Amino acid sequence: IAGIQKITQYHSMTGTLQQMGLPSSQWLLILAIIFELGGGLLVFFGWFARFGAILLFVFVVVATFLFHSFWTFQGAAMVNQMQHFFKNLSIAGALLYIMAFGAGNYAFTRRKYKEPIA
């Protein structure tokens, strides 16, 4: 969903990246869309899920440290950013699991001749 929002709100998202002082904000946004939407679809459908998880892992880790640096905030904003930071670390952990073990029995890339994992 966030990848689709980045497409539909492309100009405002580009502005947000420019305000943060990131160089080549349009290219960074295109990369973010590819990583987020492409990786998300690969993991969702279980088709090259490990590669999709790598894309999402890279995106989540970079985005977490760029956008949720809670140590630079004060008060309620710090608590909010800290929650997002640790939520994203949880997501990164799940992505590491997918990278290690793959998509499982119901993935499109699972061959028919293999027996199901118990």
For 58, counting Cβ atoms within 10 Å of its Cβ (0-12 exposed, 13-18 middle, 19+ buried), the class is middle
Task: Using a pLDDT cut of 90, give the percent of the chain over it.
Answer: 75
Integer Cα distance of 29 and 33 in angstroms: 6
Residue 77's pLDDT is: 94
pLDDT mean over 17-43 = 93
Residue 118's pLDDT is: 54
pLDDT mean over 58-78 = 94
Residue 109 tokens read as: 């890339």
- Whether the CB-CB separation of 97 and 43 falls below 8 Å is answered with no
CA distances from 106 to 39, 44, 56, 66, 109 (A): 18, 11, 20, 35, 9
pLDDT mean over 87-94 = 96
Tell me the pTM: 0.83
pLDDT digits (tens, 9 = 90+) for 44-65: 998 899 999 999 999 999 999 9
Angle (CA) 23 26 29, round 5°: 100
